[in-house]
Each structure stands twice: as structure tokens, then as C-alpha cells.
Amino acid sequence: MSIEHVWPEGEKWLLVSVLALEMVMGIIGNSRVIVLSCVQCRGQFCCHHWLPFVSLTLSDLGCSLLIISGSLLAMLTGGQRSPWCEVVSLLKFAFISSSIGSIAILCVQRLIGRTSTRGALFLFLLTGCLAAWVTGVVFGSVPVIYAWIRYDSAEMLCAVFWETNYSDMMVYILCAFSICIFLPFLLILVCSLLSAAGCCSASDSDDEDTDLSAVSPLLVACYVLCYSPFVMSELILLGRQDLSPAPTWLRTVSSVMSYLDCALNPLIYCSHQDFREAGLALLWTSRKLSAQDPVLTAVTKP
């Protein structure tokens, strides 16, 4: 089964430009979110549910620094070599799992309210957030251990391919999707429906507009939109007993769209007014520190 695809020169440089833009947006945007949330602007905007935001931002930043840059380099050099090939494949699945797991935890916390930020319940949600990372690493390691990893020029990175055993592929995809994708998505769906039905307590619903968690519906919509091509490509593979992969264009779109999610999430945070104002205040403060206006201290008469 051939997985090589030769890009025409024009399409190659178009993809290089798109990947470079997504990488720069992801690195700058998520780095700025970390600075705003953890360093200089603490207390300038309301964020009771900081745990899933930190996890999601670290996942997006890691994807921008390692995965998107790896795809960009692969486009320029013509492939990825071992062991970086296996590392990229493992990390990509870990970042996908941690992202949807973090959004699921955010939806749960938004539904429960402030009580989810302390005590045993917070420890339980912290464990769930860590579990999303661990399960992603575990399922990402399985193809590496069994040597199912090959470079796919259509996806612009090393991906999982099967050539002889349909049953192994079916078991792996069903288990990975059920645990890492379907369960968190089901949790997101249930919590979103309950929140829309007004099941939050009155005191917590009063804080919805001011807390950064108000952007969670946009985060869910963006994740579903950006990862739909990835899910479609995996379902197509699951339905083909000859083990032939999804069409080339769909595999390319799935990579580009999944990378786009990492770049769009910081922009979604900026749709929250207090967070946006904190970012502008930080920018303004930095400019004032770098260029102080002259101050008149004395006047000397001739």
C-alpha cells in the first residue's frame, strides 16, 4: 500500500505558508495566554475554572511547538526520520486526547459551579484531567511499540497505518475512540445540554458572563469543527477492510484543521471582554515601560 504523495510546487508552498501561519499564531497566542493567566494579570479577569484552561493551553502550545513545526519541517525536507517520526505520532494523539479531555472537564466545572474548584471534587477533576493526558500517551504508544508508524506525506507527519491485520486495526481504533474521544464528547454533550436547560445554581449562573468559562460553548464548537475531518478519515479507514486509507485530500484537511484549533483557541479567549482588556493592559504597560515619556522636573530661568 503506497502512502506517498508528491505535492505540486504551488500546493506545497501554499501548505508551507498555512502551516507557518498556524504555528506562529499558536505559539504567540498560547504563550500570551500563559503570561496573562499565570504571571502578570492574575486577578484582572475572573477565571474560577483555571485547571482545564491551563491544560488546554499547554496542549495547544505543545502542538504548535512540536507537531506543527514537525509537519512544516517535513514539508520542506521531504519526510520525518526515526525516532522523531514515532515521537510526533505519539505526541499528536496525546495532544488530541488532552484537548478534548480538558474541554470536557471545563464543561463539568461550569455545570457544577464554584464547588468544583475546591475539596475532593477538585481532586477528582484534576485526576480526570491527568487521565486524559495519560490515556493519550498510552494509546499513542501502542502503534510505536508495534511498529505501525510510517510517514504520510498527505498528513504531513508520521501516522498510523495497517497493512496486514484488519482486526488489530479495528480493535485499536474502537478502543482509542471510545475511551479518548467518545466518552469526553458524551460528557461535553450532556453537560452542555444541562447548562442550556438552566441546571446551574442561581449564584453560579450570575457569574457566567464575567467568568472566562463563558467561552466554553465556542471552544466546543471550534473543536468539533476542526476535528471533524480527522474523525471522518478514521471512520473511513475503519469501514475499509482492504486497509486502504482515507482520500489524500481528506487526510491533508484533517491535519490542517486540527492544527487550526490550536491557533483559534487563544482568539476565542480574547472574545471574553475582561480577558481581552487584561491583554490590552499588559501590552500598554509593556509599551510604557519600554518608552517612558520625559517628565519636566525643573525650570531654570535665564
Task: Write the DSSP assignment of 201-235 as a string of letters.
Answer: -HHHHTTTTTBGGGGHHHHHHHHHHHHHHHHHHHH
194 touches 236 (CB < 8 A): no
Residue 265 falls inside a structural domain: yes
Beta strands in the chain (DSSP E): 149-152, 157-160
pLDDT of residue 4: 61
Q: What residues form DSSP beta bridges with 158?
A: 151
Residue 225's domain comprises 9-40+47-276
Is 285 among the domain residues?
Answer: no
Q: Report the pLDDT value the prediction gives residue 291, as an integer from 0 to 100.
A: 47
Task: For helices 50-62 and 9-35, give the axis angle rounded to 10 degrees.
Answer: 150
What is residue 186's predicted lDDT score, i.e. its pLDDT? 94
Can you give the CATH number for the domain in which 265 is found?
A: 1.20.1070.10
Predicted confidence at residue 71, as pLDDT, reads 92
Please say whether the beta carbons of 265 and 219 come within 8 A. yes
Residues 6 or more apart in contact with residue 44 via CB below 8 angstroms: 274, 277, 278, 281
**CA-CA distances (angstroms) from residue 293 to 128, 259, 267, 287?**
50, 42, 32, 11
Domain assignment of residue 175, yes or no: yes
Give the H/E segment covering residue 173: helix 166-176
Closest by CA to 257, choosing from 215, 229, 217, is: 229
Q: What is the pLDDT along the chain (302 residues), one digit of tens a residue?
A: 335 667 788 888 999 999 999 999 999 999 988 887 765 455 566 677 788 999 999 999 999 999 999 999 999 888 888 888 889 989 999 999 999 999 999 998 888 877 777 778 889 989 999 999 999 999 999 988 888 888 888 888 888 877 667 787 888 888 988 999 999 999 999 988 887 777 665 445 555 557 777 888 899 999 999 999 998 988 888 877 777 778 889 999 999 999 999 999 999 988 878 777 777 776 665 555 444 444 444 445 44
Q: Answer yes or no: is 284 within a domain.
A: no
Which residues have C-beta within 8 Å of that of residue 45, sequence separation ≥ 6? 36, 212, 272, 274, 275, 277, 278
Inside any domain, residue 297: no
Q: Specify the amino acid at residue 118.
A: R
154 domain-assigned: yes
Residue 233 lies in a domain: yes
Q: Determine the pLDDT at residue 298.
A: 44
Contacts of 32 (CB under 8 A, 6+ apart): 266, 279
Number of domains making up the chain: 1
Is residue 292 domain-resident?
A: no
